[in-house]
Structure 1
Amino acid sequence: MHRTLPRRRLFGQWTALAALGVLSILPVAAQAQAYPSRPIRLVVPFTPGGSTDILARAIGLELGKAWNASVVVENVPGAGGAIGADKVAKAAPDGYTLLMGHIGTLAVNPSLYPKLPYNPLKDFAPVAWVANVPNVLVLHPSTKAANMKEFVAYAKANPGRLNYGSGGNGSAANLATEYLKMRTGISLVHIPYRGTAPAVNDLVAGQTQVLFTGVPAVIAQVRSGQLKALAVSGKARVEALPEVPTVNEALDLKDFEADQWYGVVAPAGTPADIVAKLNQAINAALNSAELKKRLGAEGAVANPTTPEAFGKYIASEIERWKPVITSGRVKVD
């Protein structure tokens, strides 16, 4: 026979359950409130010296100052950024291991690697969209072209004679150059490197002739005259190189755009309070006059926004670069 519990006893059970529910969320709330209580590891999935590394160290410095905490930048290169990204994807979701992701690791790799060990949309929690960085087409000074039109004409007249470097097969520089080839009909030979820095070094040494990479990685060499800049990839000129036209300007195009972009993600499952705390701190740094000036001087444009907006952007970029990879027949080793 079914018996109804006394009202007092039933109320007591619900009270106990409610108390258990409150207690269950207390550790998460306490964790977020105390965060960070130990060093944060910010993984850069590329070699030191490239745009990803430069931006990661700038953000890490600002976070360290804001929280009086230690932010350690760790370079974990390999497989177009997939090795470092996978390491973060499989890390504990506690906010102490983060990834400075970029267009390659978060948007391009899914179309390049048939067995990519991580899923950018499922294995990461978007934290903060840090910046957009236009690519700049730079040449060794010995290359016979004073502007983009001369460069395109020379490359067409001398197919296969110009070598272009990149940070590796499937890297942002590789894709930007393949997109330029597709749009202009020029012929260039790809020389992949294990990272941006060695590609820059060989260009300066004259081992290659062309590089289409992020402004921060080559701006010092452009300013010193070691490299000559012909055009930038964005919709507008770059503050750091105001005399350099866009590809659209230089070639009378309207819709050429091949910027790199960068943002911080955490392992999926990282508590929302910690994600919010990181987002607020990174955005505060990006909105500071000091960091804006520093990024502008490097050719980067700060882009503070919400984790949700950054997540939607990642999804849209995955779809945008699929046809470029297919038409350029971009393959990884």
Structure 2
Amino acid sequence: MKVVRSLIAGVAAAWALWPSCLMAEDFPTRLVRIVVPQSPGGATDTFARTIGQKLSEHWKQPVVIENRAGAGGVIGTESVAKAPADGYTLLVTYEGSQAINPSLYENLPFDSIKDFTPIGTIATTPFLLIVGQKVQAKTFQEFLALARTDPGKMNYGSAGNGSVNHLLGEMLQVEAGIRITHVPYKGAPQAISDVIGGHLDSAFASAPSVIASVQQGLVRALAVSSGKRAAISPDTPTIAEGGVKDFDVSPWWGIFGPAGLPPSVVSKISADLAEIQKAPDVLEVLAKQGGTPLISSPEQFRNLLAKDIAKWAKTVKAAGVKAN
């Protein structure tokens, strides 16, 4: 009798696993939608389109990018949290939205950890401190000197209150002992445009979103936020080199699905992503954008997110930042 019960239990377990295995083997069988909770033209959009195109080629199914910007990434992110957990709606976002928003919004309509399934990281990239051609400072040290000469007169733009661009400026003010006025925008591209147009003194912008403007001479890059110089702009010194000791920020970008995504589908997308990240043409695209590939397992990604939520919570509290 025990043998029969064991046999029945084994068959039942096999049948329980069968749909999940079949789903992973067949996935995807139709169009996959990747939501980007930021504006077109920024780093998140750039990475999403690069990865989306490669996944489409690999899966032989269309992968479309849907930009749903607003509320610091909350609108697009919430739409994925509420989507069916079948793998056909994914989220490409970055540390700024997924790890900072929990501390920024009192009534966030989702839990950044519980309501999502981490799939894998894509890359990390530093931010560049840029100034327009009308700004007298030609070096980072000169920028600091100008800021100290007339506190509050110089300004810097960001993608909105609580964005990485904003908090980098807050961190710089505290650690360098300067005061510059924050000007929030609805997206980084608008801030960059106003730096180019001379309507804004400076901005922190991710390397992918601004490197073309730097190379074309439309703006000057005075410093990079990472602990080491960026290969894409090797002549740009780090903020630490400029005298702000231990300054080192290089946010990550990654892919999530809604909570409850079948483990087999998570494993498949994660494995396919890791394979794509090693492709020479993808490495070339990431390098041109100033990105460094970051391959991680879903569990490693979950741990990284939890750690960064705690890290940014301290920064948000110290800066006294509130969402718009």
Secondary structure, counterpart of 1:219 in structure 2: helix
Task: Give unpaired runs (5+ residues) of structure 2.
Answer: none
Which residue identity does 1:308 align to in structure 2? Answer: E
Counterpart residue number, 1:314: 305
Which residue identity does 1:327 align to in structure 2? Answer: A
Which residue identity does 2:314 align to in structure 1? Answer: P
How far apart are 1:254 and its partner, in Å? 3.6
Counterpart residue number, 2:131: 139
Query: Among residues 248, 252, 260, which one is paired with 1:257 in the alignment?
Result: 248
**Distance in 2 between residues matched to 1:172 and 1:60, nearest whole Å:** 24
Matched, 1:186 2:178: yes
How far apart are 1:260 and its partner, in Å? 2.1
Q: TM-score, normalised by structure 1?
A: 0.94
Counterpart residue number, 1:30: 22
Matched, 1:203 2:195: yes
The question of whether the paired residues in 2 share the 8 Å contact of 1:214 and 1:260 is answered with no
How far apart are 1:293 and its partner, in Å? 1.5
Cα deviation, 1:236-260, whole Å, max 9, x if unaligned, reads 1111111111111122x44101222
How well do the aligned residues superpose, as a CA RMSD in angstroms? 1.3
Secondary structure, counterpart of 1:269 in structure 2: coil
Matched, 1:73 2:36: no
How far apart are 1:17 and its partner, in Å? 4.5
How far apart are 1:25 and its partner, in Å? 2.0
Secondary structure, counterpart of 2:30 in structure 1: coil
Secondary structure, counterpart of 1:41 in structure 2: strand
Matched, 1:297 2:281: no
Task: Give unpaired runs (5+ residues) of structure 1.
Answer: 1-6
**Distance in 1 between residues matched to 2:80 and 2:117, nearest whole Å:** 11
How far apart are 1:11 and its partner, in Å? 5.2
Counterpart residue number, 1:269: 260
**Distance in 2 between residues matched to 1:246 and 1:303, nearest whole Å:** 21
1:77-116 alignment to 2 at 5 Å? 77-116=69-108
Counterpart residue number, 2:323: 332
Cα deviation, 1:206-262, whole Å, max 9, x if unaligned, reads 1111101201111111011110000101011111111111111122x4410122211
**Distance in 2 between residues matched to 1:79 and 1:110, nearest whole Å:** 13
The question of whether the paired residues in 1 share the 8 Å contact of 2:192 and 2:205 is answered with no
Secondary structure, counterpart of 1:304 in structure 2: coil
Matched, 1:55 2:37: no
Residue identity over aligned pairs, in percent, reads 37
Matched pairs, number: 324
State which structure, 1 or 2, has the greater radius of gyration over its C-alpha atoms.
Answer: 1
**Distance in 2 between residues matched to 1:230 and 1:321, nearest whole Å:** 25
How far apart are 1:15 and its partner, in Å? 3.8
**Distance in 2 between residues matched to 1:38 and 1:141, nearest whole Å:** 48
Cα deviation, 1:249-282, whole Å, max 9, x if unaligned, reads 122x441012221111111110111111111111
**Distance in 2 between residues matched to 1:309 and 1:16, nearest whole Å:** 36
- 1:13/1:313 CA distance change after superposition, 3 Å: closer
How far apart are 1:12 and its partner, in Å? 4.7
The question of whether the paired residues in 2 share the 8 Å contact of 1:44 and 1:77 is answered with yes
Query: Among residues 31, 35, 40, which one is paired with 2:32 in the alignment?
Result: 40
